[in-house]
Amino acid sequence: MANRHNYEEFGPSYRQLISDIEKEIKPIHEAVSVTAEKNQLKVLDAFRGWNVGEDDFASSTGYGYNEAGREKTEAIYAAIFGGEKALVRPQLVSGTHAITCCLYGILRPGDSFLSVTGTPYESIRPAMGLYSVEEQGSLADFKITYLEIDLITETKARDAAGTIKKIKDYKGNKAIKMVYVQRSRGYSLRPALTIDDLEFLTKQIKTVLPETVIFVDNCYGEFVETREPLEAGADLIAGSLIKNPGGGISPGGGYIVGKAALVDKAAARLTAPGLGAALGPTYGLNRYILQGLFLAPHFVAEALKAASFAALLFKKSGFNVYPDYSEYRGDIVQAVELKTPERITGFCEEIQKYSPVDSFLTPVPAPMPGYKNNIIMAGGTFVQGASLELSADAPLIPPYVVYLQGGL
């Protein structure tokens, strides 16, 4: 047996340090538990309300017309996230795919979309045409214009006059079909949006651009608070089932929830116009998707507890942490500024070494599809790339920040 050890190996002061930290963050953990309980009740109510039964775990084949379990799963997602309609599909291969289905489904040549939270998450950028317009049919290749402001960094999302003015500066361009909001920090040090921030933002946006579709990339935000973006004025949200709402159980997939007409447009992009949401068997995954959703509020809470623990541990060790351990959180990500590439690599190696799966492997920085910089990922996870499971990743660029998340 390799790697056998006990706590004493970490040094005699280790236990004391852990117990000091746990004492200090106890009130934070208690608040997290209250949120988890409310969310758990919301999820349980939806399962009961829709009479989830053993039969719903069966799936159809072929076209997948009228698959009862899938339809129930989607009705439950719509209820929990506050939308009229949902798509919850293994055919959505990732969060990026779900998000791009929304973009391509809604935007048309001549339209523009305005990101108000800076440049969207790395893996969305190739589809926007930020690196190469023509390659593989980016939005830019379809004559869809991208505009960007960063209201979070510039105004902390709470400067009403500033926000309205900035959006008005773009209003000359009548064709802003969509405003794009990213809830989580992504690979940046700006804070995640809270639902209150988002509500403030959607109100300002709607006063200036009443017809615009407000889309929210909801990755890493699900169940962190007791309300979700559609309850704060957003029109459409999307995310990944190997993050929060998959509860660590779903082996893959993505979701889209929002106004029915918008979800239908995204569905037409996922399958084909005319087919939309009517097609798509789940290949026996309904049980995992539903069980994961049921467990999600608890494991999101575990992830939030791990994040505040890590924040205080690394703060005490002299590192800058974002957010601080006691800050109110809008997502499950904990950023730690390690300052050198060697520490990034070392950190990820340790996370990998103490993982239940692939503990014997060594992560190395490497190119990843959709990412411009080399990325190192520690993911000793049951589901490849899953990040509600304890995981860490980082682009190997200054200021050398590692992003830690997960609680499984």
Q: Which is nearer to ligand PLP, 95 or 191 (CB)?
A: 95
Sign of CA dihedral 87, 93, 96, 100: negative
Least separation in angstroms between residue 123's CB and ligand PLP is 5
Least separation in angstroms between residue 395's CB and ligand PLP is 13
CB 393 within 8 A of CB 375: yes
Least separation in angstroms between residue 217's CB and ligand PLP is 5
Q: Which is nearer to ligand PLP, 56 or 104 (CB)?
A: 104
Q: Where are the alpha helices (DSSP H) in 175-285?
A: 195-208, 260-270
Q: Which is nearer to ligand PLP, 123 or 271 (CB)?
A: 123
Q: Which is nearer to ligand PLP, 35 or 123 (CB)?
A: 123
What residues line the site for ligand PLP (CB under 6 A)?
Answer: 94-96, 121, 123, 182, 184, 186, 217, 219-220, 240
Q: Which is nearer to ligand PLP, 79 or 124 (CB)?
A: 124
CB 331 within 8 A of CB 224: yes
Least separation in angstroms between residue 292's CB and ligand PLP is 14
CB 240 within 8 A of CB 251: no
Q: Which residues of 290-303 are buried (b: 16+ CB within 10 A; e: fewer)?
A: bbbbbbbbbbbbbb
Least separation in angstroms between residue 269's CB and ligand PLP is 16
Least separation in angstroms between residue 90's CB and ligand PLP is 13
Q: Which is nearer to ligand PLP, 46 or 403 (CB)?
A: 403
State the residue number with the nearest CB to ligand PLP: 95
Instruction: Give the residue among 271, 270, 255, 253 at the shortest CA–CA distance from 386.
Output: 253
Find all residues with CB under 8 Å of 45, minimum gap 6, and list them: none
Sign of CA dihedral 8, 11, 13, 18: negative
